[in-house]
A and B are shown apart, each in its own frame.
Chain A
Amino acid sequence: MIRVQAKDFDLGGELKKMTAGNTSIGGMCSFVGLVRDMADNDTISAMTLEYYPGMTEKALVEIEKEAQVRWDLDKTLIIHRYGRMEPGEQIVLVAATSPHREAAFEACRFLIDWLKTKAPFWKLEDTPDGGKWVDARTSDDEAASHWNKPN
Protein backbone atom coordinates (compact mmCIF):
# COMPACT_ATOMS: atom_id res chain seq x y z
CA MET A 1 0.00 0.00 0.00
CA ILE A 2 1.22 3.51 -0.72
CA ARG A 3 -0.02 6.83 0.64
CA VAL A 4 1.06 10.40 -0.06
CA GLN A 5 -0.35 12.68 2.61
CA ALA A 6 0.19 15.98 4.41
CA LYS A 7 -0.62 14.68 7.89
CA ASP A 8 1.70 12.82 10.21
CA PHE A 9 1.41 9.04 10.65
CA ASP A 10 1.35 6.74 13.66
CA LEU A 11 4.29 4.36 13.23
CA GLY A 12 3.12 1.75 15.75
CA GLY A 13 -0.44 1.79 14.45
CA GLU A 14 0.65 1.43 10.82
CA LEU A 15 2.95 -1.51 11.60
CA LYS A 16 0.32 -3.30 13.69
CA LYS A 17 -2.14 -3.06 10.78
CA MET A 18 0.41 -4.77 8.51
CA THR A 19 0.62 -7.90 10.62
CA ALA A 20 -2.91 -8.03 12.04
CA GLY A 21 -4.45 -11.48 11.57
CA ASN A 22 -1.51 -12.94 9.66
CA THR A 23 0.48 -15.44 11.71
CA SER A 24 2.65 -16.55 8.77
CA ILE A 25 4.73 -13.37 9.03
CA GLY A 26 8.08 -14.06 10.66
CA GLY A 27 9.62 -10.61 10.42
CA MET A 28 8.84 -7.00 9.79
CA CYS A 29 11.33 -4.28 8.97
CA SER A 30 10.61 -0.56 8.85
CA PHE A 31 12.47 2.67 8.18
CA VAL A 32 11.36 6.17 9.15
CA GLY A 33 12.98 9.29 7.71
CA LEU A 34 12.93 12.42 9.90
CA VAL A 35 13.52 16.13 9.30
CA ARG A 36 17.03 16.96 10.56
CA ASP A 37 17.91 20.35 12.03
CA MET A 38 21.21 20.66 10.13
CA ALA A 39 22.21 20.30 6.46
CA ASP A 40 25.60 21.25 4.98
CA ASN A 41 26.32 23.48 8.01
CA ASP A 42 23.02 25.32 7.64
CA THR A 43 20.53 25.37 10.49
CA ILE A 44 17.20 24.15 9.18
CA SER A 45 14.09 25.67 10.75
CA ALA A 46 11.62 23.85 8.49
CA MET A 47 11.36 21.83 5.31
CA THR A 48 8.71 21.87 2.59
CA LEU A 49 8.14 18.80 0.42
CA GLU A 50 6.73 19.29 -3.06
CA TYR A 51 5.44 16.39 -5.18
CA TYR A 52 3.81 15.62 -8.52
CA PRO A 53 0.21 14.49 -7.82
CA GLY A 54 -0.48 11.49 -10.01
CA MET A 55 3.05 10.64 -11.07
CA THR A 56 4.39 10.40 -7.51
CA GLU A 57 1.74 7.85 -6.53
CA LYS A 58 2.39 5.86 -9.73
CA ALA A 59 6.13 5.82 -9.07
CA LEU A 60 5.60 4.57 -5.50
CA VAL A 61 3.27 1.81 -6.73
CA GLU A 62 5.95 0.73 -9.24
CA ILE A 63 8.64 0.68 -6.54
CA GLU A 64 6.40 -1.41 -4.29
CA LYS A 65 5.60 -3.84 -7.15
CA GLU A 66 9.31 -4.25 -7.88
CA ALA A 67 9.99 -5.15 -4.24
CA GLN A 68 7.17 -7.69 -4.31
CA VAL A 69 8.71 -9.30 -7.42
CA ARG A 70 12.22 -9.45 -6.00
CA TRP A 71 11.50 -10.76 -2.50
CA ASP A 72 9.13 -13.17 -0.81
CA LEU A 73 7.04 -10.56 0.98
CA ASP A 74 3.65 -10.47 2.59
CA LYS A 75 2.90 -6.74 2.70
CA THR A 76 4.79 -3.56 1.89
CA LEU A 77 3.91 -0.04 2.94
CA ILE A 78 5.15 3.35 1.78
CA ILE A 79 3.81 6.53 3.41
CA HIS A 80 5.39 9.80 2.25
CA ARG A 81 4.33 13.22 3.52
CA TYR A 82 4.28 16.50 1.63
CA GLY A 83 3.99 20.12 2.74
CA ARG A 84 5.76 21.91 5.59
CA MET A 85 7.50 19.99 8.37
CA GLU A 86 9.74 20.99 11.24
CA PRO A 87 12.89 19.28 12.58
CA GLY A 88 12.05 16.04 14.36
CA GLU A 89 8.93 15.41 12.30
CA GLN A 90 8.46 12.17 10.39
CA ILE A 91 8.74 12.51 6.58
CA VAL A 92 8.55 8.98 5.27
CA LEU A 93 7.82 5.42 6.37
CA VAL A 94 8.67 2.29 4.43
CA ALA A 95 8.02 -1.19 5.80
CA ALA A 96 7.99 -4.78 4.62
CA THR A 97 6.70 -7.98 6.19
CA SER A 98 7.83 -11.44 5.21
CA PRO A 99 7.98 -15.01 6.48
CA HIS A 100 11.76 -14.44 6.79
CA ARG A 101 13.82 -11.55 8.14
CA GLU A 102 16.34 -11.35 5.27
CA ALA A 103 13.62 -10.51 2.77
CA ALA A 104 12.09 -7.94 5.14
CA PHE A 105 15.46 -6.22 5.76
CA GLU A 106 16.49 -6.15 2.12
CA ALA A 107 13.12 -5.06 0.78
CA CYS A 108 12.90 -2.25 3.34
CA ARG A 109 16.28 -0.90 2.29
CA PHE A 110 15.41 -1.28 -1.39
CA LEU A 111 12.14 0.64 -0.92
CA ILE A 112 13.82 3.69 0.62
CA ASP A 113 16.86 3.61 -1.72
CA TRP A 114 14.70 3.48 -4.86
CA LEU A 115 12.19 5.97 -3.55
CA LYS A 116 14.97 8.51 -2.94
CA THR A 117 16.13 8.43 -6.56
CA LYS A 118 12.91 7.65 -8.45
CA ALA A 119 9.84 9.13 -6.72
CA PRO A 120 9.08 12.75 -7.69
CA PHE A 121 9.54 14.67 -4.43
CA TRP A 122 11.59 17.82 -3.89
CA LYS A 123 12.77 19.27 -0.58
CA LEU A 124 13.00 22.98 0.11
CA GLU A 125 14.89 23.78 3.32
CA ASP A 126 14.33 26.98 5.30
CA THR A 127 17.81 28.23 6.30
CA PRO A 128 18.97 31.52 7.87
CA ASP A 129 19.85 32.61 4.29
CA GLY A 130 16.38 31.80 2.97
CA GLY A 131 14.85 28.82 1.18
CA LYS A 132 17.27 26.37 -0.44
CA TRP A 133 16.28 23.51 -2.76
CA VAL A 134 18.11 20.36 -1.71
CA ASP A 135 20.51 18.99 -4.35
CA ALA A 136 20.31 15.34 -5.32
CA ARG A 137 23.17 13.40 -3.72
CA THR A 138 25.57 11.12 -5.55
CA SER A 139 25.56 8.86 -2.49
CA ASP A 140 21.81 8.31 -2.98
CA ASP A 141 22.39 7.32 -6.61
CA GLU A 142 25.09 4.91 -5.48
CA ALA A 143 22.81 3.40 -2.83
CA ALA A 144 20.09 2.91 -5.44
CA SER A 145 22.45 1.48 -8.06
CA HIS A 146 23.36 -1.24 -5.57
CA TRP A 147 19.90 -2.66 -6.37
CA ASN A 148 20.25 -2.53 -10.17
CA LYS A 149 19.95 -5.95 -11.68
CA PRO A 150 23.00 -7.21 -13.54
CA ASN A 151 22.42 -7.13 -17.31
Chain B
Amino acid sequence: MKILYFSWIREAVGKSEEDLLMPEKVNTVLGLVTWLKQQDTGYRVAFADDTVVRVAVNQEYVSLDCVISDSDEIAFFPPVTGG
Protein backbone atom coordinates (compact mmCIF):
# COMPACT_ATOMS: atom_id res chain seq x y z
CA MET B 1 0.00 0.00 0.00
CA LYS B 2 1.01 3.60 -0.54
CA ILE B 3 0.80 5.88 2.48
CA LEU B 4 0.89 9.68 2.20
CA TYR B 5 1.40 12.22 4.98
CA PHE B 6 0.67 15.94 4.87
CA SER B 7 1.30 19.10 6.89
CA TRP B 8 2.56 18.62 10.48
CA ILE B 9 1.79 14.91 10.32
CA ARG B 10 4.31 14.67 7.45
CA GLU B 11 6.85 16.58 9.56
CA ALA B 12 6.30 14.34 12.60
CA VAL B 13 6.59 11.14 10.57
CA GLY B 14 9.62 12.54 8.73
CA LYS B 15 8.52 11.58 5.22
CA SER B 16 5.81 12.56 2.75
CA GLU B 17 5.10 9.04 1.51
CA GLU B 18 6.12 5.40 1.80
CA ASP B 19 5.25 2.05 0.26
CA LEU B 20 4.42 -0.68 2.74
CA LEU B 21 3.29 -4.26 2.53
CA MET B 22 0.09 -4.67 4.50
CA PRO B 23 1.21 -5.70 8.00
CA GLU B 24 -0.13 -9.06 9.23
CA LYS B 25 -3.43 -8.94 11.13
CA VAL B 26 -4.09 -5.35 10.00
CA ASN B 27 -7.28 -4.76 7.99
CA THR B 28 -8.53 -1.31 8.98
CA VAL B 29 -7.11 2.21 9.08
CA LEU B 30 -7.15 2.09 12.87
CA GLY B 31 -5.21 -1.19 12.78
CA LEU B 32 -2.63 0.42 10.51
CA VAL B 33 -2.30 3.44 12.81
CA THR B 34 -1.84 1.16 15.81
CA TRP B 35 0.81 -0.84 13.93
CA LEU B 36 2.65 2.31 12.77
CA LYS B 37 2.74 3.65 16.33
CA GLN B 38 4.59 0.49 17.37
CA GLN B 39 7.29 1.11 14.75
CA ASP B 40 8.74 4.53 15.51
CA THR B 41 8.48 7.62 17.73
CA GLY B 42 7.59 9.84 14.76
CA TYR B 43 4.34 7.93 14.23
CA ARG B 44 3.54 8.08 17.92
CA VAL B 45 3.89 11.89 17.79
CA ALA B 46 1.89 12.15 14.55
CA PHE B 47 -0.94 9.94 15.82
CA ALA B 48 -0.85 10.98 19.49
CA ASP B 49 -4.42 12.28 19.18
CA ASP B 50 -6.51 10.15 16.80
CA THR B 51 -9.33 12.70 16.90
CA VAL B 52 -7.38 15.36 14.98
CA VAL B 53 -6.14 12.99 12.25
CA ARG B 54 -8.12 12.97 9.02
CA VAL B 55 -7.89 9.94 6.75
CA ALA B 56 -8.50 9.42 3.05
CA VAL B 57 -8.46 6.05 1.31
CA ASN B 58 -8.06 6.27 -2.46
CA GLN B 59 -8.61 10.04 -2.16
CA GLU B 60 -11.99 9.82 -0.39
CA TYR B 61 -12.54 10.79 3.24
CA VAL B 62 -13.09 7.76 5.48
CA SER B 63 -13.28 7.02 9.20
CA LEU B 64 -10.73 5.04 11.21
CA ASP B 65 -12.77 1.83 10.97
CA CYS B 66 -12.52 1.79 7.15
CA VAL B 67 -11.34 -1.58 5.79
CA ILE B 68 -8.15 -1.34 3.73
CA SER B 69 -6.22 -3.57 1.36
CA ASP B 70 -2.71 -3.72 -0.06
CA SER B 71 -3.68 -1.89 -3.26
CA ASP B 72 -5.01 1.20 -1.45
CA GLU B 73 -3.60 4.72 -1.30
CA ILE B 74 -4.00 5.90 2.29
CA ALA B 75 -3.44 9.51 3.33
CA PHE B 76 -3.16 10.99 6.81
CA PHE B 77 -3.48 14.70 7.45
CA PRO B 78 -4.72 17.28 9.98
CA PRO B 79 -8.00 19.20 9.54
CA VAL B 80 -7.78 21.26 6.36
CA THR B 81 -7.05 25.00 6.43
CA GLY B 82 -7.31 26.22 2.84
CA GLY B 83 -9.28 29.10 1.39
A residues touching B (Cβ–Cβ < 8 Å)? 33, 49-52, 54-55, 58, 80, 91-92, 112, 115-124, 133-137, 140
Contacts and interface: CB of A to CB of B under 8 A. Distances in A.
B82 A119 contact: yes
11 contacts: A49-B82, A52-B6, A116-B83, A119-B80, A121-B83, A122-B78, A123-B82, A133-B7, A133-B81, A136-B78, A136-B81
Q: Give chain A's interface secondary structure class.
A: mixed
Contacts of B39: none
Contacts, number: 68
Given A115-B82, A119-B83, 15 more contacts: A51-B82, A52-B56, A52-B59, A54-B59, A55-B56, A80-B83, A92-B82, A112-B83, A119-B82, A120-B77, A121-B82, A122-B77, A122-B80, A133-B7, A140-B83
Interface size, B (range): 10 to 19
Interface of B: 4, 6-8, 56, 59-60, 75, 77-83
Given A52-B75, A55-B75, A122 B81 contact: yes
Contact of A118 (B6, B7, B78, B80): B80
A112 B11 CA distance: 28
Contacts of A91: 83
